[in-house]
Amino acid sequence: MKTRVAALVCCLAPGFGLVAQPAAGTGSPAGSEWQLVLEQKHFLHCLGFVYDPALWFSYKGSLYFTPRNEAQAQELAGMKAVRAKYVALTNRQARCELAARAIAESGLDSQWQKKLILPYSETNQNLTPTLPRPIRILARYEVIQLLPEGDALIAGEGATNFVMDFGRAADDAFRTNATLLKEGERTLTTGSGARQTFEAFTDAGLSKEETAVLQKVSAMFEQKSAVVDPGVPTEQAKEEFEGYLVRAKDSSPYMEYMLAKCYLEGLGTPKDKGLGLEWMKRAAKSGSGDAKTYLEKAQSEAR
């Protein structure tokens, strides 16, 4: 994961049912305009996470979004809970247009843009393309036999599977993290003439090009979120820090991460690097990708 923008939700008042007011002398927009900027900043940050390649798969030339594990699902749930309390950026069409503009500004052509975001409609609630079919992730596997037409027999997790379009994904060469979409069953004739039936899948892993495109889009959302600076009223930050302190005790990875950032950056509380790192490690252990990235970067810079 890429480094996330510091204190995104620490400055987002609606997450705790508070009425946002700009502090005197901060130069922040007033009233509802200030609130809108806060929510736009948070929404762009959310999209930076959503468009991480780790949450997408590829099937028949199209890209689809889906969380793959509990940690990702929890982080998404935390972000969604905050968005549910927006008071300014509540219009779905406005959110869709904000996302579409950022993707367009990444420089991708119209064909890629259509793959990454759904057009706004009153009936569709999804921003990203989704395919309601289960995927299987094989952390490690071995190739038993390469077959004609790009198919293969691979073994992993105690079973041998028939995989179509094998070799298209960037990870295939490393024999790790195979992303498979169930297709049914396939019966093959072995060299001895016997017939054997296998579960059949399509290789739905991302190609190098698809991975690069998603990384580019995710980086664009993070970049746009980072440059949005509405200012944080001191009293507001203090109240929100106290809210994070309460919610982080429920072992929410997202809340633990944001509390850690508050301690590390002195948002609503005096700076305390020790407590900040303690909460950051706790958030990483709970499954926060943001916290893991922060700790990895800190460790790298310390070398």
**Cα–Cα–Cα angle for 219, 222, 223, rounded to 5 degrees:** 85
What is the signed CA dihedral for 8, 14, 19, 24, rounded to 10 degrees? 10
> Is beta strand 159-164 parallel, antiparallel or unpaired with respect to 195-203?
parallel
CA–CA separation, 42 and 141 (whole Å): 39
Written as one letter, the residue type at 118 is L
Cα 62 to chain center, whole Å? 18
Q: Which of 82, 103, 97 has the alpha carbon at shortest distance from 39?
A: 82
Q: At what angle do helices 289-302 and 273-286 cross, to 10 degrees?
A: 130
Q: State the Cα–Cα distance between residues 7 and 245, nearest whole angstrom.
A: 14
Residue 234's pLDDT is: 65
Predicted confidence at residue 30, as pLDDT, reads: 43
Q: Are 198 and 154 in contact (CB under 8 A)?
A: no
Considering the four listed CATH numbers 3.40.1210.10, 3.40.50.150, 1.25.40.10, 1.20.81.30, the one that applies to the domain covering 233-297 is: 1.25.40.10
Contacts 24+ apart (CB under 8 A), 81-85: 81/15, 82/9, 82/12, 82/14, 82/15, 82/42, 83/42, 83/43, 83/46, 85/14, 85/15, 85/16, 85/17
Q: What is the pTM of this model?
A: 0.68
User: How far apart are the C-alpha atoms of 228 and 224, rounded to whole Å?
Assistant: 7
Q: Which residues are registered as beta bridge partners of 140?
A: 176
Mention every residue, 6+ apart, whose C-beta is less than 8 A from residue 49. 1, 4, 55, 75, 76, 79, 218, 289, 290
Backbone phi, psi, residue 282, to 5°:
-65, -40
DSSP letters of 184-223? EEEEEE-TTS-EEEEEEEEE-PPPHHHHHHHHHHHHHHHH
State the residue for tokens 């998603």. Answer: 214
Q: Name residues whose C-beta falls within 8 Å of residue 27's C-beta, 6 or more positions apart in sequence.
A: 231
The residue among 136, 119, 199, 204 whose CA lies nearest residue 169 is 204
Predicted local confidence at residue 201, as pLDDT: 95
Q: What angle do CA 56, 162, 130 make, to 5 degrees?
A: 20
Please give the pLDDT value at position 16: 26
Q: Which residues of the chain have pLDDT under 70?
A: 1-32, 191, 229-234, 303
pLDDT of amino acid 67: 93
Please name the residue ranges forming H helices in the chain. 31-50, 70-83, 92-105, 110-116, 208-227, 234-248, 253-265, 273-286, 289-302
